[in-house]
């Protein structure tokens, strides 16, 4: 019989316990599929006495995850602590320096330090696998690095934060304002300790940066991701979008353009009949477009004990079977530093603004848009009060830079009474 693959689990929160449960419940199945036993030899967490849903008493205990990473009876460090620095990063580096492979669910750590960690691992002959870091149980990293390795990837697009999708779809279905659904999501435990990681687009931006690196052969550059959260989306925006046949999603888009790599995690309108438009609740969806495959759609649970632990174990099983790939699908030394491009690809935009209800107001707005080279596709005016008129404009295709120029010029008209809301309409 082949030697067992020995795991050290760093972190016994929801995901860590899910991994322990899979190893304990499916030991025979894992051995049959890997051709060798997969066992846990040691664990580490902040509290040894905390009540947990799984029994870890048979495993060696380390208070320090760095000590866990250095143990002689650990072949693979499974890091599910979280955080871009601190114990997670220290333990990961210690494992690599000790010649051990690493499986992690830590998107923040890789988004900020992915290139350096990939170089460290490859120089040491180790691998870092991170399927669980992006879109939970959806095997999108495996799809990019393996199944679609013969494609030139044209675009990556998707809903990558289930909490934001829950908030937006709940606002629509219940007719509730953002603030009320935000509090509801918080009480249900859907939000991170720092809610801005979710609703500000940061969590999903980390994921997009990792997918971009794999898809386009570039160094991870989270700082170049254009981020805009969902806090400015109103129930009126959702209703207006629905009237036109669209849904609003926090959408990640990455594509290589003539000006550079465009990476953005921003609210967008998508056709209501599209797979992304029909996505409900906390589910994630990633759409991959390649020159040979054209388009594939991957949909599934983006978080939770079972889905995330499943993704971790998929990586563990690959290592057990002897599959060893570079961290981002190609040697780290060959990854290019991409030039960042901000919304370089033209698209139509949704514009909502409050205008003074007086003759010539719309003409002034249309003149400003025209001066920026933006033409109007359609326009609607909704019920309004005595002095203020809510106006909705959908433009023909334009660039974000042209739109920003127009928005900056609107206050000079003295008819716009609030900061305009601009949302890109994405073709999917």
Give the mean pLDDT of 64-92: 97
In the set 207, 247, 249, 364, the catalytic residue is: 207
List the single range of 78-82, 207-211, 397-401 with lowest mean pLDDT. 397-401
List the single range of 266-270, 296-300, 361-365 with lowest mean pLDDT. 361-365
User: Looking at the predicted structure, is the pLDDT value of residue 161 above 70?
Assistant: yes
How confident is the model over 371-413, as pLDDT tens digits? 999 999 998 887 666 788 888 999 999 998 899 999 999 999 9
> How confident is the model at residue 388, as a pLDDT?
85
How confident is the model over 222-252, as pLDDT tens digits? 999 999 999 989 999 999 999 889 999 999 9
Please state which CATH class domain 5-104 belongs to.
alpha beta
341 falls in which pLDDT band (50, 70, 90)? confident
Cα–Cα distance between 141 and 75 in angstroms, integer?
Answer: 23
Q: Percentage of residues in the chain with pLDDT exceeding 70?
A: 98
Please state which CATH class domain 349-425 belongs to.
alpha beta
How confident is the model over 49-68, as pLDDT tens digits? 899 999 999 999 999 999 99
Cα–Cα distance between 352 and 421 in angstroms, integer?
Answer: 5
92 falls in which pLDDT band (50, 70, 90)? very high
* Residue 248 near residue 423, CB atoms below 8 Å: yes
> How confident is the model at residue 384, as a pLDDT?
65
Q: What is the CATH number of domain 140-302+331-341?
A: 3.30.360.10
> How confident is the model at residue 383, as a pLDDT?
67
Q: Which residues are 285's β-sheet partners? A: 159, 299
Cα–Cα distance between 168 and 153 in angstroms, integer?
Answer: 29
Per-domain residue ranges of the chain: 5-104, 140-302+331-341, 349-425
323 falls in which pLDDT band (50, 70, 90)? very high
HSE, CB side, 13 Å, CA atoms: give it for residue 303. 21
Cα–Cα distance between 229 and 222 in angstroms, integer?
Answer: 15
* Residue 250 near residue 230, CB atoms below 8 Å: yes
Q: Which residues are 271's β-sheet partners? A: 246
Cβ within 8 Å of residue 197, ≥6 positions away:
203
Give the mean pLDDT of 98-111: 98
345 falls in which pLDDT band (50, 70, 90)? confident
Q: What phi, psi does 339 have (nearest 5°)?
A: -80, 130
Whole-model pTM: value is 0.93
Is 397 annotated in the active site? no
Give the mean pLDDT of 90-104: 98
Q: What phi, psi does 269 have (nearest 5°)?
A: -95, 135
* 5-104 and 140-302+331-341 share one fold: no
Q: Which helix (H) or strand (E) holds 109?
A: helix 107-123
Q: What phi, psi does 4 have (nearest 5°)?
A: -70, 155
* Residue 267 near residue 276, CB atoms below 8 Å: no
How confident is the model over 145-159, as pLDDT tens digits? 999 999 999 999 999
Cβ within 8 Å of residue 364, ≥6 positions away:
413, 415
* Residue 325 near residue 127, CB atoms below 8 Å: yes
1 falls in which pLDDT band (50, 70, 90)? low
Cα–Cα distance between 208 and 205 in angstroms, integer?
Answer: 5
Q: Which residues are 391's β-sheet partners? A: 353, 381
> How confident is the model at residue 229, as a pLDDT?
95
């Amino acid at each position: 019989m082949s030697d067992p693959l020995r795991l050290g689990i760093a972190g016994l929160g929801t995901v860590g316990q899910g991994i322990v449960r899979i190893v304990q419940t499916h030991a025979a199945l894992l051995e049959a599929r890997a051709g060798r036993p997969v066992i846990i030899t040691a664990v580490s967490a902040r509290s040894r006495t905390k009540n947990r849903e799984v029994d870890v008493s048979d495993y060696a205990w380390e208070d320090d995850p760095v000590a866990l990473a250095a143990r002689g009876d650990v072949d693979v460090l499974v890091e599910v602590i979280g955080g871009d620095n601190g114990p997670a990063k220290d333990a990961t580096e210690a494992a690599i320096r000790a010649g051990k492979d690493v499986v992690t669910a830590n998107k923040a750590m890789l988004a900020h330090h992915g290139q350096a960690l990939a170089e460290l691992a490859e120089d040491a002959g180790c691998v870092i696998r991170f399927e669980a870091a992006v879109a939970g149980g959806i095997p999108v990293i495996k799809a990019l690095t393996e199944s679609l390795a013969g494609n030139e990837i044209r675009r990556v697009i998707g809903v990558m934060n289930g909490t934001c999708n829950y908030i937006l779809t709940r606002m629509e279905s219940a007719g509730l304002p953002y603030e009320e659904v935000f509090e509801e999501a918080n009480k249900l435990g859907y939000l991170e300790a720092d809610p801005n990681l979710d609703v500000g687009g940061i969590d999903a931006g980390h994921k997009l940066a990792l997918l971009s690196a794999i898809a386009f052969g570039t160094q991870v550059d989270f700082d170049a991701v254009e981020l805009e959260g969902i806090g400015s989306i109103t129930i009126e925006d959702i209703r207006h979008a629905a009237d036109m046949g669209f849904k609003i999603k926090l959408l990640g888009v990455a594509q290589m353009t003539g000006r550079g790599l465009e990476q953005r995690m921003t609210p967008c309108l998508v056709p209501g009949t599209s797979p992304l438009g029909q996505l409900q609740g906390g589910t994630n969806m990633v759409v991959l477009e390649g020159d040979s495959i054209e388009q594939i759609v991957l949909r599934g649970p983006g978080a939770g004990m079972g889905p995330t632990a499943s993704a971790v174990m998929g990586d563990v099983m690959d290592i057990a079977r002897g599959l060893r790939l570079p961290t981002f699908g190609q040697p780290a030394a060959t990854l290019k530093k991409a030039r960042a491009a901000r919304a370089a690809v033209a698209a139509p935009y949704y514009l909502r603004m409050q205008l003074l209800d007086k003759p010539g107001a719309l003409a002034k707005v249309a003149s400003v848009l025209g001066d920026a080279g933006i033409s109007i596709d359609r326009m609607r005016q909704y019920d309004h009060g005595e002095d203020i008129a809510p106006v909705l404009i959908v433009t023909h295709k334009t660039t974000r830079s042209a739109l920003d120029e127009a928005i900056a010029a609107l206050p000079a008209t003295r008819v716009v009474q609030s900061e305009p809301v601009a949302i890109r309409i994405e073709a999917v």
